[in-house]
Amino acid sequence: MSGVAAVLLAAGGGSRFGGGKLLAEFRGKPLVCHALEAIRESPVDGAFVVVGDRAGEVRKFVEPYGFSVVENAEWGRGQSTSVAAGLSALGSDFDAAVVMLGDQPLVGAVAVGRLVRAFEEGASVAVATYGGKPRNPVLFSREVWPELMGELRGDEGARGFLRARWDLVTEVHCDDVANPSDVDTREELAALEDVEPPASGEF
């Protein structure tokens, strides 16, 4: 048991995409399903999927995985509300959470596993890096949740907290096993079709 939960942010409306982004097909399945499969294959003890826009449609794809669904009625106020909703849903059952994005289909399970391993080795905050640059996913141990929740603002998600408390961060090299490209537009989704999937590797 790792004591770690995955919190997948899947509530946004995808305005630049024209709506319905997470339901758009990518490599034969809805975009959000790639993140769901990464969670299923990773060493986490639970998963919470935060939904908002088109919640009923997204929920249909989540339910076969057996993950918990968290409805965020405030999703229109920005990503920070989904982070807060996801962490609040965890209760006292978990010691850390890996926050993931539903529009990063090429992150994969190994990157998540490396963050879990970093936590097991003592990290209180672990950030996946690619080419030396911090991106998603990010792990937050329970001890930092109160401070993190206090720093959440608008659509910035956890970035404000990370800037303020970089001293707590353990950087976790992931660019050999994952690609952090996210999808904002239909053109970006089409371009990802030609990108090689993440290489397999050890957690």
Tens-place pLDDT, residues 8-20 = 999 998 899 999 9
Given the structure tokens 């048991």, which residue do they identify?
1
Q: Which residue has the tokens 């190994």?
A: 110
Query: Is 0.85 topped by the overall pTM?
Result: yes
Identify the helix (H) or strand (E) that includes residue 85: helix 79-88
**Predicted confidence (pLDDT) at residue 203 exceeds the cutoff of 80:** no
Domains, in order of start, for the chain: 4-192 (3.90.550.10)
Our CA angle for 143, 144, 146, nearest 5°, is 100
- What confidence score (pLDDT) does residue 33 get? 98
Encode pLDDT of 103-150 as tens digits: 999 999 999 999 999 999 999 999 999 999 999 999 999 999 999 999
